[in-house]
Amino acid sequence: MSREKRIGMIALGVTLCLLLGAPSFAATVNVGDAIQLSFAPGHQDGFNGGAFTATTDKGFSWYSFCVEKNEYIDFSTPFPFRVYDISGNALKGGLGVSNPGTPLPSPAPGTLDPISSQTAYLYSLYATGGLALIGPAGDAAQQTALQNVFWYLENEIATLPGGTLENRYYNLATSVANNSGSYGVAVVNIAWPNGSLAQSQLVYVPEAGTLILFGTGLVGLVGYRRVRRMQ
């Protein structure tokens, strides 16, 4: 075998390893899709935030994470929500917004709340297993600590709880993240059937060829199992 062929085969092998090792799976979610949320495995009883399992009426599922503190959802009715927007903003803006019941089709001026690069960086690590996940969505302690840090970074709470994990995650986010990176993280904003904006959820959208973010929807959502890319 020639040297050029050997180099080519090695390069192909490296490429295949990168593709097969991607910690995400391809799925399609579009604006307007019906969606249901439930608490993800490992959720802390009595805690309103943390990781969620999101499922559309088309059968696509992925893990997401709460962004804003004063937004609430209903688990009792199948598919009570619609995907309204997929962007870098929490549309209602959380606790800093005086009109949290903004009706569709467009949010009122001043309700856009871009997520911080620190939140995006920390969530990207969590979504890709970079924080030593215990289980596919993390355990209760990790979910609670991450949620507190996200809320603090997004100005949803005034004081960061002084737990060991909270301090570790906050220091990691603020010492490493730059001031403009999205780190492949977006926000899925959902709406109630009556048209009011509901929950905002963090999602990880890797900036790779296997997953593509469209202007009208999302191709590729968070997963934690390895998959083979079908050609």
pLDDT in tens, 111-137: 678 889 999 999 999 999 999 888 889
Question: Does any domain span residue 17?
Answer: no
Tens-place pLDDT, residues 5-57: 444 443 334 333 333 333 333 347 888 899 999 999 999 999 989 999 998 88
Report the number of distinct structural domains present in the chain: 1
pTM of the model: 0.74
Report how far residue 45's alpha carbon sits from residue 127's, in angstroms, rounded to the nearest whole number.
22
Question: Does any domain span residue 6?
Answer: no
Question: Does any domain span residue 230?
Answer: no
Question: Does any domain span residue 16?
Answer: no
Q: Counting Cβ atoms within 10 Å, is residue 147 exposed (0-12), middle (13-18) or buried (19+)? A: buried
Question: Does any domain span residue 35?
Answer: yes
Question: Does any domain span residue 12?
Answer: no
Report how far residue 71's alpha carbon sits from residue 45's, in angstroms, rounded to the nearest whole number.
18
Torsion of CA 147, 149, 154, 156, to 10 degrees: 70
What's the domain range around 122? 24-222
